[in-house]
Structure 1
Amino acid sequence: MNSKTKKKKGHILRVLKRDMSLWMFCIPGIVLTFIFSYVPMYGIQLAFRRYNGRAGIWGSPWVGLYYFKRFFESPYFDSTIRNTLILSLYGLIVSFPIPIILALMLNSFRHKRYRKVVQTVTYAPNFISTVVMCGMIILFLSPSVGVINNIMHFLGLDPLNFMAKKEYWRHIYVWTGVWQSTGWSSVIYFAALSGISPELHEAGRCDGATKLQLIRHIDLPSILPTATILLIMSCGSILSVGFEKAYLLQNNLNLTVSEIISTYVYKVGLINNDISYSTAIGLFNTLINLVMLIAVNKAADKLSGNSLW
């Protein structure tokens, strides 16, 4: 071992000893990530085998890309992919800018008590569970006892069964999600805005800048890197629309627009007990998300200089 290698090894040991407390804090997260994220990857091979519970994973026969071809040729392929993409893109377009707007608006308010009240009101829906949220949605939109239909009846309009109308389902899903998550999603933007030096705003006011000009030239550029990272992460899960809410709001009358990849995987894998087929669909979903993440990350790096890596 030459002297250069010894010096490098000694430097690494000194750094490890110096930051030992920080490494100790990282160990639980590393262990949990390994157990719950890397160990389950052992089951990916189910997508390439005809799983037999008695034979086990290794004893099940290898079938290659059979289940992927089966999914591509399935009559559900086009509809599930289309529904998932439309729902995800619709939700991304609507829900991504609203937390930014909320954070910018509240950050410009000087009345701290009013700002805290608004923050509390907008944060509260995030703590409602998905099951309770879906129950509230179905109850409020009920054609017989729903608040919305009672208001419509008072105005002389005919009641509507909103959950049975497929043209309303996507709007209900997305906008109720916006109501539930906007306040909590704005927290990270508040954190980014709190890091802006007050001297910048003071200098802008001295130059005669209005609130809109301060937001445009100081606040927005300051939170742009944060917004870019969150946009990349959102695009990286473009096909991973949440299962619980879609499944709970689903019925036979809106199934043509509400059947997405996650609900289809649940029905195929757990209800029909076709484990290998559902694993193949899930793996395909993950690969598409990975490609999207890499592509959007590269595009963001070229356009703005901000990226995950």
Structure 2
Amino acid sequence: MHASSSRSSTADDRPDEHSDQTIPFNSEGVATSHAPSSAGLTLVATPIGNLGDFSPRGAEALAQADLVLCEDTRTTARLLTDRGISARTEALHEHNERQRLPGLIARLQAGERVALVSDAGMPLLSDPGFRLVRAAIEAGVPVTAVPGPNAALTALVLSGLPPHPFLFVGFPPPRSSARKDSFARLHAAEQVGLAATLIWHEAPHRLAEALEDMATIFGADRPAVVARELTKRFEEIRRGTAGELAAFYADNPPRGEITLLLGPAPEEQTTQQTLDTTLQSLLQTHSIKDAAALAAAATGLPKRTVYARALELTRQQEG
């Protein structure tokens, strides 16, 4: 999501887009940038499937870097080979990022040009690199980015769902109970005013279960979209309700990279049927107290009311 300035630029006050001048941080810590060819850290977006989407500026940044940090060096090697780039690569991932920070910051402060890429898309978004960027900023190292492909934004504009506002959530938790908890917190935010298209990435083997949990917490009739294999040969955008998509993918296990979207919450009051459906699902994996607390958060109803209904449903099931 971007906020654009209302001020219009003229040819005289527009910066030279070909300038290699490095702009240092000032004493107030105002954000600065630098050209990819100059010293500092450059975040480089890489293709999410189609190698033709890699920009010339991205290729230039990798070719001129003293070091290219990769989520997986084998994946990046294929991209470098495709563009005929010879570059030194090293792995930077969630298991070694914290330990590598001091050495990398020292190299950046010494004037080296370091590029950071993920396996696909924009670095940091569900990928490593956040700690490095924060450390570079704190150390006064120039940081810039070469923008490019992004699965969440590509899926959003293809979905047919409202494009803004949107909320990118990353990956939902892998276990159903934690996933429902996460969904319930988002649904609770909707009850107090959040109205945005929600976006997740998901593993193909968990997609059907995630959609089922989504239908339980947010409602089976909520519009949803599954975007699969974006920019690749078998790209698929499947639209429907959360309930319909859950049923479809339960019978048709998907393959490939997946982005999952849910349309904004409708402006309507929670019904007794919706509350009962939510409670019945949560009671399968939670205690009465925990299920009532999650359902109250998800529906916006008073905790005492929801707890009383949870007790009643439990007695009916036991009877």
TM-score (norm 1): 0.22
Q: Which has the larger radius of gyration?
A: 1
Q: Which has the higher strand share?
A: 2
Q: Which structure shows the bigger proportion of residues in helix conformation?
A: 1
